[in-house]
Amino acid sequence: MTENTSAAKAEKLVAVKGMNDILPPDSARWEWLEEQVRSLMARYAYGNIRTPIIEHTPLFIRGLGEVTDIVEKEMYSFEDRLNGEPLTLRPENTAGVVRAVVEHSMLYDGGKRLYYMGPMFRHERPQRGRYRQFHQIGAEALGFAGAEVDAELILLADALWKTLGLTDVRLELNSLGQPEERKLHRAALIAYFEQHADQLDEEARRRLHLNPLRILDTKNPAMQELVEGAPKMMDFLGEASLAHFNRVRAILDANGVAYQLNPRLVRGMDYYNLTVFEFITTRLGSQGTICGGGRYDYLVEQIGGKPAPAVGWALGVERVLELLKEQGQGLPVNQPDAYAIVPDVNALPIAMKCLQALRAAGVRVQMHAGTGDSMGSMKSQFKRADASGAGFALIFGPDELAQNQVTVKSLRDGSGAQTAYSLAQASDWAPHLQSRS
């Protein structure tokens, strides 16, 4: 018989550029972080919301603003081939949450506190801390006008850094005022930048009359000095806006949350007003913003809902995890408690019944996997047990099974101590397997 050996080996397929696989053991960090977040959100009475990854493109254009980095150059937009609908992979999730809140009339009986976790998509140049598929965790409080909710959200983020053990994070704070105040500031900005038109880069010149606030957010180092001297929003705030800002500050002060006022902080989306803030670290280079947010009191009506105030933030999961690694935080413990050694395939039914009982009792058990006919030598199974990091080996040998027992051997404390336990009473001795500290 001749075999066709000339057929080319199938070409290796790889992930899309800027989109990462998250693999064990690193994925344990992700799960750990998500658990911390869930537990914390529950303590602040925020409920989980899950919206689709794809939305109608106009949601983002209307929501984020036409003249923003995201809408101008970062969205993955496409036409649904089946019906021609313009769709977009969500670049952020505030717009989607607001869409869902409006669609389901969620504010009919009062404000809602919500949080989400999930992938976002932006067509950016991939580099450390900047990916094309990345993950955000966000908290949004809709239907609340008071400064206490702005402060609550900042306290929540601050508590999260403490829970995670993040240090080297600073908080920057600003107020963008209200639309009428913004109009005056906008006029002053245009006048200022027109005076210095020769120092504007191409993008800034294009945005000068479309969205001058965006110029303040420029990443061009050559324009930093110019931007530094620009009229400050803070000087255009009326009494009510100032009072709101001062109430936020007073709550942060009382809670010992330090912050710096940054009059240049404007955030990348058009929907913000009043309080805006960012948590920044100096340890991740120019990708140092780990979390950003603010108030967006006009987005709900812009998306077709009855006017309702709102405030929220989003953090970048990759950047937070990167920062934790940078600080030298180790991997969370995720080795199994026990590793099951089964010399003979015929012992599998009885052995696996016992493992099921142990797992039901909360023990983390890894099963040795054989080749089909054979489970492999005892020596090779013990090698695997050692490599797994398990604290104990469970040995389902013929002598043990003849007495309806299993031998539990300690792998970690150097004693090699062995004890025989009854197969039938697994839940009684299960806690012994979890005793490793």
- The tokens for 19 are 């989109």
* Closest separation in Å from C-beta 64 to ligand ATP: 9
* Closest separation in Å from C-beta 314 to ligand ATP: 4
The one-letter amino acid at 338 = A
Contact between 342 and 396 under an 8 Å Cβ cutoff? The reply is yes
Q: Whose Cβ is closer to ligand ATP: residue 121's or residue 339's?
A: 121
Does 349 sit behind a cis peptide bond, omega within 30 degrees of 0 on the bond before it? no
- Dist. CA 38–CA 46, nearest whole Å: 9
Q: How far is CA 338 from the centre of its chain?
A: 32
Question: Which residues have CB under 8 Å from 226's CB, separation 6+?
Answer: 193, 196, 199, 200
Taking alpha carbons only, the member of 62, 41, 56, 53 closest to residue 163 is 41
Residues found near ligand ATP in the complex (CB under 6 A): 92, 122, 124, 129-131, 134, 136, 268, 287, 289-292, 314-316, 318-319
CA distances to 209, 217, 220, 261 from 225, in Å: 20, 13, 10, 18
* Closest separation in Å from C-beta 269 to ligand ATP: 7
Q: Whose Cβ is closer to ligand ATP: residue 279's or residue 421's?
A: 279
* Closest separation in Å from C-beta 92 to ligand ATP: 5
Q: In terms of C-beta density within 10 A (0-12 exposed, 13-18 middle, 19 or more buried), how is residue 367 classed?
A: middle
Q: Whose Cβ is closer to ligand ATP: residue 177's or residue 316's?
A: 316
Sign of the alpha-carbon dihedral angle for 136, 139, 143, 148: negative
Q: Whose Cβ is closer to ligand ATP: residue 181's or residue 318's?
A: 318
- Across the beta sheet with 86-89, what order do the strands follow? 54-56, 86-89, 76-79
CA distances to 49, 91, 110, 259, 339 from 275, in Å: 24, 22, 22, 13, 53
Q: Whose Cβ is closer to ligand ATP: residue 157's or residue 433's?
A: 157
Q: How many Cα atoms occupy the beta-carbon half-sphere of 56 within 13 Å?
A: 10
Q: Whose Cβ is closer to ligand ATP: residue 241's or residue 289's?
A: 289
* Closest separation in Å from C-beta 212 to ligand ATP: 18
* Closest separation in Å from C-beta 181 to ligand ATP: 22
Q: Whose Cβ is closer to ligand ATP: residue 72's or residue 344's?
A: 72
Secondary structure (DSSP) of 237-306: --HHHHHHHHHHHHHHHHTT---EE-TT---SSTT-EEEEEEEE-STTTT--EEEEEEE-TTHHHHTTSP
* Closest separation in Å from C-beta 142 to ligand ATP: 18
* Closest separation in Å from C-beta 124 to ligand ATP: 5
* Closest separation in Å from C-beta 329 to ligand ATP: 18
Q: Whose Cβ is closer to ligand ATP: residue 122's or residue 368's?
A: 122
Give the other-Cβ count within 10 Å of 135's Cβ: 21
| Residue least distant from ligand ATP (Cβ) | 316
Angle made by CA atoms 368, 370, 373, in degrees to the nearest 5: 145
Q: Whose Cβ is closer to ligand ATP: residue 92's or residue 158's?
A: 92
Q: Whose Cβ is closer to ligand ATP: residue 129's or residue 305's?
A: 129
* Closest separation in Å from C-beta 277 to ligand ATP: 11
